[in-house]
Amino acid sequence: MPLIQNSELPTFDRLRSEGQEVLVPGRARQQDIRELHIGILNMMPDAALEATERQFMRLVGSCNRIAQFHVHLFSFPEIPRDEKSRAHIERYYEDFETLKQEGLDAVILSGANPALERIEDEPFWEPLMGVVDWARENTCSVMCSCLATHAVVQRLWGIQRYKLADKRWGVYSNHITQASHPLIANINTRFDAPHSHVYEVNAEQLAEKGLVPLAVSREADVHLAVSPDGLRFIFFQGHPEYDAVSLLKEYKREVVRYVEGIRSTWPPYPEHYFQVEARNLLEHYKHQVERARGDYSSLPPFPDDAVAGLVDNTWSDTGKAIINNWLGLVYQVADRTRGKVFMDGVDPEDPLGLRAH
């Protein structure tokens, strides 16, 4: 069902140009379909700010539930921004205090760029915790991505992330561990998911505190988990929202950091992502950099376009299916009046009725 263009955010036009159905408000008002209001907290750095908008909005807009999805983007002034990103946020994003008054049915918390060893020392920690504390009492469900997952499980369950010896970076095979949970109904029992993080929590840590891992990888550990009640918090450690080229862009940024002398070694490939043809192109570029011996004035451009045509997206369909299930569950239990969390008769401690089964 369609997204509703409830602002002049350029991402709406971008999604429409990609074939996504986006309704203008006048057309939306003529349809007798229930609304769901989804907040998206975007904490990603400037380079990924608008891409993150598109990625999460694309997942929401791909849901096939009979509903109109109003997406409300917001962020924090505590996150350092360049002038362009600040202007974008000021023009198109909403104020969280206003959203609290109007009410939301569910919230998505994006990841963020970890800069400090202690997550609670990050500049966004306090405002993020304010959103978490409000959302756990005033929305049906909070979906957390990567660093947001680490922050929430530490705040609410005391689970400490740990730093990996090497960055977890690539596309990993996952298997379903709790096939009966409605969040993963009708999806493949084995599927791929991208990961990109230097800190991690594992399935054993979550299970010890009563959280329920739903999808786990032998190489990358937990990808998807839920809070003990089954719905209030959804945790992704991977990135189902990533585009096919998201890891390529990350790899290019690391190559640029090497060329600029910021990193001392050539970056490793994201695991299970570049196939032979793509690696050949990238190896050729690496040799060109090495031959330049520090004089990069005549270095040819990074082969973005050529490599992009050689990478496969093996995770989006499953990601869309999980988000579709999630929004369907929110639709089932959310009260029709914004500001009231659950429909009458829904048990906040067991909103999906899982304990009855």
pLDDT digits (tens, 9 = 90+) for 6-52: 899 999 988 878 766 687 887 667 656 788 999 999 999 999 999 99
Whether the predicted pLDDT of 74 surpasses 90:
yes
Whether the predicted pLDDT of 65 surpasses 70:
yes
pLDDT (mean) for 258-283 = 95
pLDDT (mean) for 60-71 = 87
pLDDT at 30: 64
Our answer to whether residue 200 is catalytic in this structure is no
Whether the predicted pLDDT of 198 surpasses 60:
yes
Whether the predicted pLDDT of 1 surpasses 80:
no
pLDDT at 32: 63
Report the range of poorest mean pLDDT among 2-16, 92-106, 198-212.
2-16
Tell the CATH topology of 3-242+314-333. Rossmann fold (3.40.50)
Q: Which two tokens stand for residue 134?
A: 């409000």
Whether the predicted pLDDT of 131 surpasses 80:
yes
Q: Name the percent of the chain lying above pLDDT 90.
A: 78
Q: Bigger pLDDT: 24 or 189? A: 189
Q: Bigger pLDDT: 66 or 352? A: 352
Using an 8 Å Cβ cutoff, are 197 and 166 in contact? no
pLDDT at 180: 85
Cα dist. 14→8, 18, 71 in Å? 12, 6, 15
pLDDT digits (tens, 9 = 90+) for 306-332: 999 999 999 999 999 999 999 988 988
pLDDT at 286: 95
Q: Could you say which of 50, 53, 241, 254 is catalytic?
A: 241
What is the sign, positive or negative, of the torsion defined by CA atoms of 156, 162, 163, 167?
A: negative
Our answer to whether residue 146 is catalytic in this structure is yes
Residue linked to tokens 């998201």: 246
pLDDT at 21: 66
pLDDT at 94: 97
How far is Cα 219 from Cα 166, in angstroms, rounded to an integer? Answer: 13
Q: Could you say which of 195, 223, 239, 254 is catalytic?
A: 239
pLDDT at 59: 94
Report the range of poorest mean pLDDT among 18-32, 160-174, 243-257.
18-32
pLDDT at 293: 80
pLDDT digits (tens, 9 = 90+) for 330-356: 988 888 787 789 988 889 899 988 875
pLDDT at 67: 84
Using an 8 Å Cβ cutoff, are 6 and 73 in contact? no
Q: Which two tokens stand for residue 275?
A: 């196939």
Using an 8 Å Cβ cutoff, are 148 and 125 in contact? no
What are the residue boundaries of the structural domains of the chain, listed by start? 3-242+314-333, 246-308
How far is Cα 127 from Cα 300, in angstroms, rounded to an integer? Answer: 43
Q: Could you say which of 53, 140, 146, 250 is catalytic?
A: 146
Q: Are strands 221-226 and 212-217 parallel, antiparallel or unpaired?
A: antiparallel
Whether the predicted pLDDT of 64 surpasses 90:
no
Our answer to whether residue 239 is catalytic in this structure is yes
Phi-psi sector, 130: left (phi>0), alpha (psi -120 to 50), beta: alpha
